[in-house]
Amino acid sequence: MISITHFLVVSAIIFSIGLYAIIAKRNAIMILVGIELIINAAILNFVAFGRYDKLNYGGQVFALFAIVLAAAAVAVGLAIILAVYRKYKTINPDNITDLQD
Amino acid sequence: MEVALFYAFASLAILSALLVVSLKNTARALFLFFIVLFAMAGLFLFALADFVAITQILVYVGGVLILMIFAFMLSNKELLADLQNKSSKFLSLPNWQSLLLAIGFLAVLAYGIYEWQEHYPQWITENIRSGAIIKAADNNIQELGLHFMTKYLLPFEVISIFLLVALIGAAHLSRKEDIS
């Protein structure tokens, strides 16, 4: 039986790594990876707390919802990245400065 | 034994996540991201969430990472640009700023966990006392299916519609524009 503190510490570290990836990276795909890391840290917290709730199973149910949401976010995000790349020939967010063409 | 395995999975996840953000080569970072996701699925198992772990492997490794590698290969010019201008300025401005921000955020979270001192909320202590916590011998998948189809039916349907809308939107965004 692993205590809940272990899960919290691991997910805090993963969250911070994802935050670093979002701010520091110059590549839109790596920024998306950082977002995925943060979502995974949140799912780990859901699951860790959900173990103590057998009546509702809320933790695991909403962890599954979060996985589906992350998959949808990645699909739309990568489509946007490809559309941007077709227009600008770069996926560095620093170089994408116009709202319209 | 259980604790040792937990530490092994946790260190695998954290170390490969650190490598993901520190590598210059995006392709290698993406393949290391596989390992992070597998290790996170292993961590889910220690919270007795076997179905969530399997779904994580199916959805992320089967779907999300393939999509990411596709997008990376379709926007391949970035690889050369990355290798050229990143090496000269290792400690450039955004790097240490974001490192500072991330470490500060981690410090805040760690301070919160330290101050918490395992004072469980009331519902957790009550559930532990009455034995209403998930045990290793429980049939998780059956319980999850029952709850999906009864208590969480509305969120389930909403998320189905949302996924359909998101996928149609993604297909619409990534179509070839006809030049007229």
Residue B97: both structure tokens together: 């700023």
Q: How far apart are CA B63 and CA A23, in angstroms?
A: 25
**Predicted pLDDT of residue B92:** 58
Higher pLDDT, A84 or B18: B18
Q: Which of B54, B84, B114 is the endpoint of a domain?
A: B84
Give me the helix-helix angle, B140-149 and A58-88, nearest 10°: 80
Does B91 score more than 70 pLDDT?
no
User: For residue B90, is pLDDT > 60?
Assistant: no
- The larger pLDDT score, comparing residue B115 to residue B76, is at B115
| Buried b or exposed e, range A71-83, using 16+ CB within 10 angstroms | bbbbbbbbbbbbe
Q: Do B133 and A54 touch (CB under 8 A)?
A: yes
What are the tens digits of pLDDT across the range B102-138?
999 999 999 999 998 878 888 888 888 888 888 888 8
B78 and B16: one domain?
A: yes
Closest-CA distance, B76 to chain A, in angstroms, reads 9
Res B179 pLDDT > 70: no
Least trusted range by pLDDT, from A33-47, A61-75, B13-27, B72-86: B72-86
Does residue A61 carry a pLDDT above 60?
Answer: yes
The answer to whether A48 faces chain B, any CB pair under 8 Å, is yes
For residues B80 and B153, state if they share a domain: no
pLDDT for position B180? 53
Which residues 17-56 of B have a C-beta within 8 angstroms of A? 17-18, 20-21, 26, 29-30, 33, 36-37, 40, 43-44, 46-49, 51-52, 55-56
Residue B107 lies in a domain: no
Q: Which two tokens stand for residue B74?
A: 């379709």
ipTM above threshold 0.85 = yes
Does B77 reside within a domain? yes
Task: Give the mutation candidate from A1, A3, A20 for the B interface (greatest B CB count, under 10 A).
Answer: A20
Residue B78 has pLDDT above 60, yes or no: no
Q: Is residue B129 part of a domain?
A: no
Question: pLDDT band at B23, cuts 50/70/90?
Answer: confident
Domain coverage including residue B23:
1-84
- Check if A30 contacts B (Cβ < 8 Å): yes
**Measured between alpha carbons, how far is B169 from B36 in angstroms, rounded to an integer?**
29
Q: Whose CA is closest to A34, among A26, A76, B42?
A: A26
pLDDT tier, A14 (very low <50, low <70, confident <90, very high otherwise): very high
At residue A85, the pLDDT reads 84
pLDDT interval class at B13 (50, 70, 90): very high
- Which domains are present in chain A? 4-95 (1.10.287.3510)
Task: Print the SS3 string covering B64-76.
Answer: HHHHHHHHHHHCC
**Among residues B48, B64, B84, which one ends one of the domains?**
B84
Does residue B63 fall inside a structural domain? yes
- Specify whether B76 is located in the same domain as B151: no
Q: Which residues of A touch B102 (CB under 8 A)?
A: 16-17, 19-20, 23
Average pLDDT, chain A: 88
Alpha carbon B100 to its chain's center = 23
Asked if residue B6 and residue B73 are part of one domain, the reply reads yes
Domain count, chain B: 2
CB contact under 8 A, B33 and A33: yes
Structure tokens that stand for A27 in this block: 């590549």
Nearest residue in B to A75, CA atom: B170
Interface test with A, best of B1, B2, B134, B156 (most A CBs within 10 A): B134
Q: Residue B93 falls within a domain, yes or no?
A: no
Angle at CA B87, nearest 5°, toward B86 and B89? 75
Judge: B169–A79 Cβ closer than 8 Å, yes or no.
yes
